[in-house]
Structure 1
Amino acid sequence: PQGPVETALAAIWSELLGVDRISRNDSFFALGGHSLLAVRLLSRLPDAIGTDLPLAALFANPTLAGIAHSVSEELAQSGVQASTVIERVDRAIPLELSHAQERLWFLSQFEGVSKTYHIPLAMRLRGRLNEPALRNALDRLWARHEGWRYTFTMVEGEPRATLLPTDAGLLLREHDLRHEGNAGSLLDKICAEEANAPFDLERGPLVRGRLIRLADDEHMLLLTQHHIVSDGWSMGVLNRELEVLYAALASGRPDPLPELSVQYPDYAAWQRRWLSGERQKSQADYWRAKLTDAPTLITLPTDRPRPAQQNFTGARIPIVIDAALTSELKRLSLKNGTTLFMTVLAAWSTVLSRLSGQDDIVIGTPVANRGRPELEGLIGFFVNMLALRIDVSGNPDGTTLLRRVRETILQAQDHQSLPFEQVVEAVQPPRRLDHTPVFQVMLAWNEQRIVPTLSGVAVDPADTPYRVSKFDLEMALYETDDRITGSLGYATALFDAETIERHVGYLLVMLRGLVALETKPLHQLDILPPSERTLLLEEWNRTDHVYPSERCVHQLFEDQVS
């Protein structure tokens, strides 16, 4: 690195990517960067260098020297800009809700408090668990994160929040099934009860747990959070801090976690001040222009008619993209300046276009919405939804579609601060009870680990009896062990499992086709796997049948009457 800007950038890269030595010619994405890390990189620029940079600038020239050049140009034009400060708010008065919290609170008033917005987590713990250390670690997390301790009420006609006391501790019920003859069925019953029991938004708490002893060296830990106090990123914070606290407390050491500089109530008040005036208008104008005349419903063929009111009961089918195909997708992504998420989104958009007969596809995706470094370590509800309008028209080849998808995502992420409910207000799509507004298909890319690593204990994720799908289709993927894995969730009111398994097969075929024939028009790529092509064209077209050609029709009719 040469000069102060490259040196400062190299230090940020090293922190985010875990790479000690950074060359000025290294590419951020070749070193392991992805969309989420790119956003975190840009969020550090105001404090480290004194300027902002659009995400598109990083993708346009992702080398260290290239980004430094863009930053230097921005500094030359605008000068050093002081970042806004998130100030501490008074806890003695009712607290403002964030925009995201206000949306879920409104839905709870409109629909009732629904299990649709539960975040259940189940972990099987094998080994000598230090139960007091685990309980104390969870209590420390409860006291540490004010975002977990929210309750909600009405004050003079407006929703407001208050915080439960720090010394209340996390509600952790304990069960001992070691001597129960029907331990398996009891465990299933406890897991179902825990995942689906409603929360009380006014009284709280809105996070709870259960510790179930199955044997001397085996436990099940269940944690359930309401979405209004947590999100996917928060799960990563929970995992990391639970690991650190458990290891320290189990060995008799004090809490090693540094004090948090801001808390969720400070963020909620800051967000309402920051996202106002011209900034809010500019973001609303973008979404209004982007989604005007977008299709309000994706017309996927379903196994049953759409019910008059949306049913959120769901199920999931696993997805595994093997290491060889994942490696090829990485190569394709680097070549075209996209991330794995963008490449998979391009293929999935093509599959949805084939299934629906539409070449204008809107897919939702969640974004962490933590554009400031001090927010990265908080547990709370920050996530926002982006509506990505993908243009599949004109029979594009793979390279062209990847470019379209990249541009769409970069523009959307540059306007990600406007809460989705305000996007809906700006666009004003027709509202119906039988489907979600703006989009009905979601694709989420998760970079967080699913479970923590506890010292001396083997921790594995366990299935939960929580069967909810907020959308018609919701795909969730993450990269692990050089593979892309995840699941495709679906509304069981609309689809059968066999149909969704075929959809997963179509995606895999399209991904392979995109890798092998990226410059070929996508309409020429076949999404049918060989087994389904054989079924459609051969087995279902075997029309040969023994026919009594020596007899007349009226005689056959008489036989049938008899």
Structure 2
Amino acid sequence: MSLSTGATARTASPKERSLWMLDRLVPDAGANNVPAALRIGGRLDRPALRTALTAVVRRHDALRTVFHAADDTLTASVLAPGGTDLDVQEITPSADGPQAALTAFAATPFALDGRPLIRVGLLADGDDDVLCFVVHHLVFDTVSAGVFTRSLARAYARVLRGEQPYPADEGAGPVPVLDEPAPRPQSTDFWRDHLAGFDPGALETDCGTGHNPARPTLAGGRLDHTLTPGATAAVRKLAKELRAPEAVVLLAAYYLLLAAHGAGPDLVVGTPVNVRGDGAADAIGYHVNTLPLRTAVDPGESFRALVTRTRNVFFGALSHADAPVDALLAEVARPGASWRGSLFRHVFNYVPAPGDAGLAFGDTPARTEPAESGYCKFDLELNVLATPETLSLRVVHGTEALAEADARALVRRYDALLSGLGEAADRTVAEIEVGTDADRTALRTGYEEAVRAGGTAGFVASAGGREALPGVRGELCLVATSRPAADDGHDGAHPQHGPYRRTGELARRGYDGTLEILGRADRRVTVHGVPVQLDRLEALLASEDGVRAAAVVLRKGDDTDPGGLVAFLAAPDDPQLLDRLRKRIGAELPAAAEPGSFVVLDALPTAADGRPDLAELERRAAAGGTTGADDADGQLLADLVELWNDVLERDDVGPQANFFELGGHSLLAAKVAQRSGKLAGVRVRLADVFANPTPLTLAEHLRAARA
């Protein structure tokens, strides 16, 4: 790696643009903020701190790097050292405690308008000061936080002694921005081959909220957990026995945990890797590449075999870490109208726990204080902090994907899984127990209560045929406890409960043992790689004022039209009805659940049983004429079709062509947002394109925005 500096503007790199896409998706959120905090055992000298801070910022070009966002372009430049004096802000205390105050300070977004991307604040908490600094990820990462902290502490101590912040022998010039080299061709080829044919639908788990909103908040929650001594001992025993790093053993177990909750068997987990080269260990900046590590979890193989394959994938990826996957986005992007990354939704990171020994500001001791922005970019981030004695987990979860109870259950199961693996390296994945004692109690209690109620009891079967863990969706199976032994009319036999019949109903067992029915399994379809429960969507549509009945079918597509959901409504003529329904769907259901077409009828055709005639509705959907195109501005729709063709470099796009099914991705979607906004004369957010991925639906959205 080389080091370079300069005042001229440069075009943002692909991985910088990817961060910017997230800012555009949630422009009022600080999802890209990197916060860190230190608890100082006393009061800091404010003027001395400000002098030291100014010196550190002047010293590092990365901290003076600013970005300018305009339309669909992002450029970066470095401010002159003399123009970046920073104030130390006083953080407003919160009635909810210091953590709430720090989170509020950390969550405030930065504007990419040429201003510095760093702010520093002090929170007075009792006799202590809490020093918090927040920096945009475009110019910072967790390694940078350590470098910045040490530099600031040294400079502060020197200022207190009446000295210059930096000694003369360190040189007077600024530390230039680390210039990452272009990826090697062999690394690009490696990732292209590694990710070939991956189906992002495999990332879906059967636990959690099932909510994938088109307009996300990226709200996040955090859990901290120290692995039990048994789990830690098992990991370290397996690492020696299997000749694999601790990180690999923990990662293999993470794959197994995700598979046990419905993901896979083909899985990708993102792992951040520091790409600073020799001589640049103390470079501040955004110098992390997140590697998409792909492996398969085979129920018939041993955990030993899974660790071996994970180890091979891990080291192969590290040797090609110079290629950020963002640079390959156009080549490896997969269909799916979702803001979530199409390559991974789960992150694993293994790092040494930060040490506070000897850390001080002058003569005042300091220690690390938790600081969170309150956001999460992924469904689940599993951070392992290792010391010689312990392994601790810092788990961040997207609350729109996983409720706190779901995340807590995953953490506890991970601990239990690791504890049991110490003596199970040669057992098959299918034989390895994942649940906790609390899980087994919930399953047993729920079943036994049903038996006592009389006659018939049930359990939930996972896709693999095993009894699903609490919180995991599966098919409800009924056990007739009073059935005569000679009756063999059943679909299978549970090892404890005996013969059972499948019901075709989706269900899940709650963490307290209660059973929740979720709808018909045969009414679950996959749209843009996302599972959608049609009866749940129909219930939402039918609950809207004025809608007498609703039915939804999946229309099959072709090479130029990927098809999609068609909603048939028995409702009066109401110009605002579809806008209200789209808003509700966007707020309550996954983005993929929004129908591409709505058809309003006086009454729905019915079958002999009085229910909507789905076969007839499917025929009507396939016959066309269901798009509602007359409701949209004809010229605007034509212009958007032309825009789709231009951005996707095609000439066969139709009004119902899904942008993402035809190869679009977030970087191209940003162009659509900018250009469609100019066409319609309204502001179009990136989230609007994800929520309205066809020319027709975007035209209807823009028409409503102009009204």
State whether TM-score is above 0.5.
yes
2:200 aligned counterpart, secondary structure = coil
Q: Which AA in structure 1 matches 2:410?
A: H
Q: Which AA in structure 2 matches 1:246?
A: Y
Q: For residues 384-533 of structure 1, what are the structure 2 equivalents within 5 Å? A: 384-393=289-298, 395-447=300-352, 449=354, 453-454=359-360, 455-464=362-371, 466-480=373-387, 482-533=389-440
Q: CA deviation at 1:365?
A: 0.9
2:119 aligned counterpart, secondary structure = strand
Q: Which AA in structure 2 matches 1:118?
A: N
Decide whether aligned partners of structure 1 residues 346 and 261 sit closer, same or farther in structure 2, where only a CA change above 3 A counts. Answer: farther
In 1, the alpha carbon distance for the partners of 2:271 and 2:453 equals: 54
| RMSD between superposed Cα atoms in Å | 3.1
Q: CA deviation at 1:237?
A: 1.3
| Conservation of the 8 A alpha-carbon contact between 2:102 and 2:372 | yes
| Conservation of the 8 A alpha-carbon contact between 2:200 and 2:342 | yes
Q: For residues 263-274 of structure 1, what are the structure 2 equivalents within 5 Å? A: 263-265=175-177, 267-268=179-180, 271=181, 274=182
Q: CA deviation at 1:145?
A: 1.0
In 1, the alpha carbon distance for the partners of 2:188 and 2:146 equals: 30
| Conservation of the 8 A alpha-carbon contact between 1:474 and 1:489 | yes
In 2, the alpha carbon distance for the partners of 1:483 and 1:300 equals: 29
In 2, the alpha carbon distance for the partners of 1:433 and 1:473 equals: 17
Answering whether residue 283 of structure 2 is matched by residue 382 of structure 1, we say no
Answering whether residue 217 of structure 2 is matched by residue 325 of structure 1, we say no
Decide whether aligned partners of structure 1 residues 505 and 324 sit closer, same or farther in structure 2, where only a CA change above 3 A counts. Answer: closer
Q: For residues 43-442 of structure 1, what are the structure 2 equivalents within 5 Å? A: 86=2, 88-89=4-5, 91-108=6-23, 112=27, 114-153=29-68, 159-169=74-84, 171-175=86-90, 184=95, 190-215=101-126, 217-254=127-164, 255-256=166-167, 258-259=170-171, 263-265=175-177, 267-268=179-180, 271=181, 274-275=182-183, 279-280=184-185, 282-297=186-201, 298-309=203-214, 310-323=216-229, 325-356=231-262, 358-370=264-276, 372-393=277-298, 395-442=300-347
Q: CA deviation at 1:104?
A: 2.4
Q: CA deviation at 1:285?
A: 2.0
Q: Which AA in structure 2 matches 1:343?
A: V
| Conservation of the 8 A alpha-carbon contact between 2:293 and 2:313 | yes
Q: Which has the higher contact order (CA 8 A, sep 6+)?
A: 1
Q: CA deviation at 1:463?
A: 4.1
In 2, the alpha carbon distance for the partners of 1:348 and 1:241 equals: 36
In 2, the alpha carbon distance for the partners of 1:156 and 1:303 equals: 36
Q: CA deviation at 1:364?
A: 0.6
Decide whether aligned partners of structure 1 residues 404 and 373 sit closer, same or farther in structure 2, where only a CA change above 3 A counts. Answer: same
| Conservation of the 8 A alpha-carbon contact between 1:359 and 1:391 | yes
Decide whether aligned partners of structure 1 residues 260 and 308 sit closer, same or farther in structure 2, where only a CA change above 3 A counts. Answer: farther
Mean alpha-carbon deviation: is it higher for 475-484 or for 451-460?
Answer: 451-460
Q: CA deviation at 1:109?
A: 5.1
> Which structure has the greater CA radius of gyration?
2
2:149 aligned counterpart, secondary structure = helix
In 1, the alpha carbon distance for the partners of 2:25 and 2:47 equals: 41
> 1:310-352 deviations in whole A, cap 9, x for unaligned?
4411112222113453244223213322211111001111111
In 1, the alpha carbon distance for the partners of 2:128 and 2:69 equals: 44
In 2, the alpha carbon distance for the partners of 1:113 and 1:547 equals: 54
Q: CA deviation at 1:536?
A: 0.5
Q: Which AA in structure 2 matches 1:377?
A: D
In 1, the alpha carbon distance for the partners of 2:124 and 2:452 equals: 63
| Conservation of the 8 A alpha-carbon contact between 2:299 and 2:429 | no
Q: CA deviation at 1:516?
A: 2.0
In 2, the alpha carbon distance for the partners of 1:429 and 1:546 equals: 49
1:446 aligned counterpart, secondary structure = strand
When you count strand as a share of all residues, which structure comes out higher?
A: 2
Q: Which AA in structure 2 matches 1:416?
A: A
Mean alpha-carbon deviation: is it higher for 219-228 or for 184-193?
Answer: 184-193
Q: CA deviation at 1:505?
A: 1.5
Task: Provide the identity percentage.
Answer: 22
Decide whether aligned partners of structure 1 residues 365 and 156 sit closer, same or farther in structure 2, where only a CA change above 3 A counts. Answer: closer
Q: CA deviation at 1:397?
A: 1.6
In 1, the alpha carbon distance for the partners of 2:132 and 2:366 equals: 12
2:308 aligned counterpart, secondary structure = helix
Decide whether aligned partners of structure 1 residues 328 and 393 sit closer, same or farther in structure 2, where only a CA change above 3 A counts. Answer: closer
In 2, the alpha carbon distance for the partners of 1:479 and 1:319 equals: 12
In 1, the alpha carbon distance for the partners of 2:266 and 2:3 equals: 43
Q: Which AA in structure 2 matches 1:194?
A: F
Q: CA deviation at 1:475?
A: 1.1
In 2, the alpha carbon distance for the partners of 1:283 and 1:260 equals: 38
In 1, the alpha carbon distance for the partners of 2:207 and 2:453 equals: 35
In 2, the alpha carbon distance for the partners of 1:334 and 1:92 equals: 51
Q: Which runs of 5+ in 2 are unaligned?
A: 456-707
Mean alpha-carbon deviation: is it higher for 251-260 or for 299-308?
Answer: 251-260
In 1, the alpha carbon distance for the partners of 2:385 and 2:206 equals: 27
In 2, the alpha carbon distance for the partners of 1:330 and 1:267 equals: 38
| Conservation of the 8 A alpha-carbon contact between 1:152 and 1:160 | yes
Q: CA deviation at 1:471?
A: 0.7
- Provide the aligned length of Structure 1 versus Structure 2: 449
| Conservation of the 8 A alpha-carbon contact between 1:150 and 1:229 | yes
Q: Which AA in structure 2 matches 1:490?
A: H
In 2, the alpha carbon distance for the partners of 1:485 and 1:543 equals: 39
In 2, the alpha carbon distance for the partners of 1:498 and 1:426 equals: 37
Q: CA deviation at 1:143?
A: 1.1
| Conservation of the 8 A alpha-carbon contact between 1:100 and 1:383 | no
TM-score of the superposition, structure 2-length normalised? 0.58
| Conservation of the 8 A alpha-carbon contact between 2:94 and 2:101 | no
Decide whether aligned partners of structure 1 residues 385 and 261 sit closer, same or farther in structure 2, where only a CA change above 3 A counts. Answer: farther
In 1, the alpha carbon distance for the partners of 2:173 and 2:431 equals: 55
In 1, the alpha carbon distance for the partners of 2:102 and 2:188 equals: 42
In 2, the alpha carbon distance for the partners of 1:345 and 1:100 equals: 24
Q: Which AA in structure 2 matches 1:258?
A: E
In 1, the alpha carbon distance for the partners of 2:453 and 2:235 equals: 50
> 1:37-90 deviations in whole A, cap 9, x for unaligned?
xxxxxxxxxxxxxxxxxxxxxxxxxxxxxxxxxxxxxxxxxxxxxxxx72645x
| Conservation of the 8 A alpha-carbon contact between 1:362 and 1:390 | yes
In 1, the alpha carbon distance for the partners of 2:177 and 2:149 equals: 22
> 1:236-284 deviations in whole A, cap 9, x for unaligned?
212332333333333344424834999554515xx2xx43xxx23x222
> 1:167-193 deviations in whole A, cap 9, x for unaligned?
34553334398xxxx874696775344
- Structure 1 counterpart of 2:633: none
- Structure 2 counterpart of 1:24: none
